[in-house]
Structure 1
Amino acid sequence: MSPAAAHGARAGKDEEAASMTTPTSSPSPNEPGERPLDGAVVAVAGAAGPAGRATLLRLAEAGATVVASDYDPARLAEAVDAARYAHGGASVTGETVDLLDLDAARSWADRTEKEFGRVDGLIHLVGGWRGSKTFADAPLADWDTLHNLLIRTAQHTSLAFHDALLRSGKGRYVLISAAGASRPTAGNAAYAAAKAAAEAWTLALADSFRKLGGEGGPSAAAAILVVKALVHDAMRAERPNAKFAGFTDVKELAEAITGLWDRPAREVNGTRQWLTPKP
């Protein structure tokens, strides 16, 4: 693998694992006054970027225990501290994980479940982009990089967390994809193809949840949130005259992620939810 791929796929450890108690039944609905994710444990892969920071903040605000990872320990620590500071008393931890290593991803899932007793979500925010001016100019090395960043990491997190999400009774696996996967452009061939492959893999995960749910329906759900591109406050400050038409604000993305627990798994599983107009 290329150094860039390995660097981008490392997704930030503070405490050792403790004893595990695995839930055997679905949690009861929220009691009056409870936040929507009180008691939930959610892992976030690729948590140090703007989308990750917004997601950590929103999950902590909703009451979740958040277990974050990223390739950059310093940026991850800043993101974790920001979420803790914004929501006093929130449980937000960070751990460095090489998501190009399936065993490392599985160890992360196992440690998280052992320490916190359950895993109710995996938010896959690991990303990357490569493009070219024309189709003929596209270097195939871009495919190698994007295969690792966008596909291989999604394969590893989904395989690693599959069983824990089922045991949760309300597990959610969330992939962030791009509108370009549905309508590739000449200069984005490798990127669009990689995003489409990651979507297909996630829909196969959804089918596994459906089949294992039996007649009662799935107890866990895998869903895809589709954006054109993401925008955040710093981008707007740098380009005050830009329209960012069709872009999704990272805060809106974080809200959509948190909202996936508001509906039953059977309504969420296998869905592609558009946060931008369809092309």
Structure 2
Amino acid sequence: MTGSAEGSGASGALDGAVIAVAGAAGPAGRAALLRLAEAGATVVGADADPERLVEAVDAARYAHGGATVTGDTVDLLDLGATREWADKTEKEFGRIDGLVHLVGGWRGSSSFPETDLSHWALLERLLVRTVQHTTLAFHDPLLRSDRGRYVLVSAAGASKPTAGNAAYSAAKAAAEAWTLALGDAFRKAGGDDGPKAAASVLVIKALVHDAMRAERPNAKFAGFTDVTELAEQVAGVWDRPAQEVNGQRLWLTPAP
């Protein structure tokens, strides 16, 4: 990892923690469920696709016998529903120690003039609105935790956008700014003692997983981060003090 986040190993910092994962049914979400359960956390996944969510939750449960992994079908585009999810989770498990935001999506074009603004309309909802809703819903529970973390996964293109990725890069940049504003709220809440909760952005070039490799066996995927490595780095955020990771971009790829 470029920067300073290291692999977490068997992360004692997560033992007994309650971690919510938004976008749990995708490849990155599945890897996160597995890694967080392995580290001893109670994991509560959310996704809009109930069938894929059940498959992801069952896979994590079977991989780590005895782990508590649950799933809730949640429309994260609905602020009220997102707040209900946060409230339900805290009431059921007594605490919330983290929210990992893995809601993704991509649209691009072959050139800047060919950008389709419908792509922005979609990506703003997936990549920005869901961040707004989860940060607002989980702000208070994370402050009540002794190890609260909000983790966003972003892309290097937010800092160095390319012509064909204007909508995607702009949405990622907006999501980063919103998350860093949450970090400032945590900093202010901590006062002279410093933040006890943290909001962090993990920055990648792009993600790769086994199905992508199977579909394109000759592709190199140079500089891509495997979803299992991303999950390892997500877990590692809890190994570091809140003051060290709050309001920080943690690079898993060289910074532009």
TM-score (norm 1): 0.87
- The higher-RCO structure (CA 8 Å, 6+ apart) is 2
TM-fit CA distance, 1:236: 1.6
SS state at 1:43 partner? strand
1:153 aligns with 2:127: no
Matched residue type, 1:188? N
Distance 2:147 2:118 in 1: 39
Q: Give the distance between the partners of 1:78 and 1:138, measured in 2 at CA.
A: 35
Of 152, 157, 172, which aligns to 1:195? Answer: 172
The SS at the match of 1:110 is helix
Residues 113-155 of structure 1: CA deviation (Å, up to 9, x unaligned): 0000000000000011111111111111111111111000000
> Where does 1:95-174 land on structure 2 (aligned, <5 Å)?
95-174=72-151
> 1:35, 1:89 → 2: CA distance?
17
Q: Which residue of 1 aligns with 2:7?
A: none
Structure 1 distance, partners of 2:11, 2:122, is 43
**Mapping of 1:1-279 within 5 angstroms?**
35-279=12-256
**Equivalent-residue separation in structure 2 for 1:34 and 1:250 (angstroms):** 18
Partner Cα separation in structure 1 for residue 12 and residue 249 of structure 2:
26
Cα 1:176/1:47, change in 2 over 3 Å: same
Q: Which has the larger radius of gyration?
A: 1
State the identity %: 77
Kindly report structure 1 stretches of 4+ aligned residues shifted beyond 4 Å. Answer: none
1:237 Cα deviation (Å)? 2.1
CA shift at 1:34, angstroms? 8.2
Q: SS in structure 1 opposite 2:233?
A: helix
Which residue identity does 1:36 align to in structure 2? A
AA aligned to 1:131 is G
1:21 is aligned to: none
What TM-score comes out, normalization by structure 2 length? 0.95
Residue 23 of structure 2 aligns with an amino acid whose one-letter code is: G
CA deviations 1:228-251 (Å, max 9, x no partner) are 100111212222221111100101
RMSD of aligned Cα (Å): 1.1
Q: How big is each residue's C-alpha offset from its partner over 1:147-175, in whole Å with a ceiling of 9 and x where there is no partner?
A: 11100000000000000000001100000
- How many positions carry a matched residue from both structures? 247
Equivalent residue number for residue 10 of structure 1: none
Alpha-carbon distance in structure 1 between the residues aligned to 2:78 and 2:214: 37
Look up the match of 1:9: none
Whole-Å Cα distance in 2 between the matches of residues 170 and 106 of structure 1?
A: 20
Letter in 1 for 2:53: L
Runs of 5+ in structure 1 lacking a partner? 1-32
Give 1:222 deviation, angstroms.
Answer: 0.1
